[in-house]
Structure 1
Amino acid sequence: MSDETHVLTAPPADAAADWTIAQNWSNYTPEEHATWDTLFARQSKLLPGRASEAWLRGLDVLRLDKPGIPDFDVLSERLMKLTGWQVVAVPGLVPDDVFFDHMANRRFVAGNFIRRPDQLDYLQEPDVFHDVFGHVPMLADPVFADYLEAYGKGGQRALGMDALKYLGRLYWYTVEFGLVKENDGLRIYGSGIVSSAAESRFALDDPSPHRIAFDLVRVMRTEYRIDDFQQNYFVINSFDDLLRATVETDFAPLYETLKQQPDLPVAHILPEDNLLTRGTQEYARDKEANRIHSLP
């Protein structure tokens, strides 16, 4: 999910009314399966000691280490037995109401295409590797599975409140780029990090970004960038805490309060922030210096 509204107002011709399409698993080429295997081998080697226990456990119980792009029907059968979720294919980004309806009913939407071999390190639109390798292991965790269902239902309520901007930030800083505190230190659970070799290192090792204790209001006020490493990571104490923070909050008055407050720019620090790591912001400064240097 993002702050942007999908440009299409009706499903494509080959999609059902709920925007789902056939995965067409048998149509994947050997090259496409090989791309998945290359990405899987790289990330699965990198993530032990970095990814959360819940994510690693999900990778194992769903048997995602089988070579080739996973078959959504097989994957859904395993997920249904664990948490009642299933994976459904969609042609790309879908409208907000469709996205929330699927999530509220424990259906995770995933693109059925995979990036080209020359796009291993970055792809702007989520593909099957980002969606399945990044997201689906967490769907095997009962608490996180409940959180995503609650998020979908919250999104349905927010549609008429002019509040999707705030809810999108919650998704971004938890589901996509969240960190969790575990006994051995900070660990990754956000799909945008676990599916990226570079950001898997950056999020935990680099001194540049701020790592801030999760606070619901703080997160929903904070802007983000979609085209670069994050300069803020928000850290939850546990998935139980994350679920509790969402299901026990009355979002309607919270949205009204947020509308009266200014948005917080990326990398901004508040005096009341609980900073686990104050970032140097060196990465952002270097990027800006290189940008200015390259201007004609």
Structure 2
Amino acid sequence: MSGVVDFLPEGAAADWTIPQDWQRYTAADHAMWDTLFARQAGMLRGRVAPEFLAGLDLLRMDKPGIPDFEALSERLMNATGWQVVAVPGLVPDAVFFDHLANRRFVAGNFIRTPDQLDYLEEPDVFHDVFGHVPLLAHPMFADYMQAYGRGGQRAAGMGAIERLSRLYWYTVEFGLIAGADGLRLYGAGIVSSFGESHFALEDASPNRIGFDLKRIMRTRYRIDDYQQSYFVIDSFEDLLRQTLETDFAPLYDALEAEPDHAPDAVLASDRVITRGTQAHAAAQAD
């Protein structure tokens, strides 16, 4: 939810939060949520990390209609000390990191329209709440998100936000996890997308590569299409451990002298789980 925004929207507080104003949602808005929820929840079983499904159940997100952030936050606070706060859209990096560092997840309070069922440029309440919030009920992932926020505050002072943003992209938004029964989805950008839920897990096109912090921070990503590479963590515990145990300052310094990797690159040093054909990207380029 962070982005290049340089003015405070009318009606927003100094921290960019606004009332969710749940009562203003129309029947059509709630119906859109229900359509998206039914489609995603049905196809994700057997594909998504079990911790995500546990979060859906714990937070009672299967109730019809767009969740009321106040009630949702009460359940989430009881689980891991997090809350969901409404914002009008993308927020500045500093605001985003401050909210995460204080266990507040910012979510847009608008929902897509029927003509945006499969794609919209700016994250809406379905992406933000359905995609992100269930895993915030998992203690290890909840701690990882807070650690990321604190890391973002430090990265801002080192001119390294672009490097750190790649870690968020390839984990929080588009991450895969190795499960007992094979690879599973957990990134919000995937689990909130019907098409990418199939593509990331089952299509022959993308690379699937074992998680490596330095490698990820050197890898560019796609913002206009499905990812050409997905990175696979072993567990949320390991993701948190590596984040907390890494001294990022010398890592940022070291990365300055090293070139970036293309989104489709496969390196000799990679732990390759699947070497993709890149057929999808090639077809889109034609």
| TM > 0.5 | yes
Q: Which runs of 5+ in 1 are unaligned?
A: 290-296
1:261: which partner in 2? 258
Structure 2 CA distance for aligned equivalents of residues 34 and 280 of structure 1: 38
2:12: which partner in 1? 15
1:42: which partner in 2? 39
C-alpha displacement of 1:114:
0.2
Paired amino acid for 1:199: E
- TM-score, scaled to structure 1: 0.95
Structure 2 CA distance for aligned equivalents of residues 185 and 270 of structure 1: 23
> Is 2:196 aligned against 1:199?
yes
1:124-143 to structure 2, matched below 5 A, reads 124-143=121-140
* Matched position secondary structure for 1:159: helix
Matched-pair contact (CA < 8 Å) for 2:175–2:186 = yes
Compute the RMSD of aligned alpha carbons. Answer: 0.8
Map Cα deviations across residues 119-167 of structure 1 (whole Å, 9 max, x no partner): 0100110000000000000000000000000000000011111100110
1:1-296 to structure 2, matched below 5 A, reads 1=1, 5-8=3-6, 10-289=7-286
Structure 2 CA distance for aligned equivalents of residues 98 and 284 of structure 1: 34
Matched-pair contact (CA < 8 Å) for 1:208–1:281 = yes
Q: How many residues align?
A: 286
Map Cα deviations across residues 11-69 of structure 1 (whole Å, 9 max, x no partner): 21200000000000000000000000000010011000000011010011111010000
C-alpha displacement of 1:6:
1.6
Structure 2 CA distance for aligned equivalents of residues 27 and 126 of structure 1: 19
- TM-score, scaled to structure 2: 0.99
Structure 2 CA distance for aligned equivalents of residues 55 and 71 of structure 1: 19
Structure 2 CA distance for aligned equivalents of residues 272 and 245 of structure 1: 18
Matched-pair contact (CA < 8 Å) for 1:176–1:190 = yes
Structure 2 CA distance for aligned equivalents of residues 158 and 201 of structure 1: 34
Aligned residues with identical type, % of pairs: 68
Structure 1 CA distance for aligned equivalents of residues 198 and 161 of structure 2: 30
Structure 2 CA distance for aligned equivalents of residues 13 and 249 of structure 1: 40
Matched-pair contact (CA < 8 Å) for 2:5–2:90 = no
C-alpha displacement of 1:7:
2.9
* Matched position secondary structure for 1:160: helix
Matched-pair contact (CA < 8 Å) for 1:124–1:227 = no
Structure 1 CA distance for aligned equivalents of residues 150 and 283 of structure 2: 41
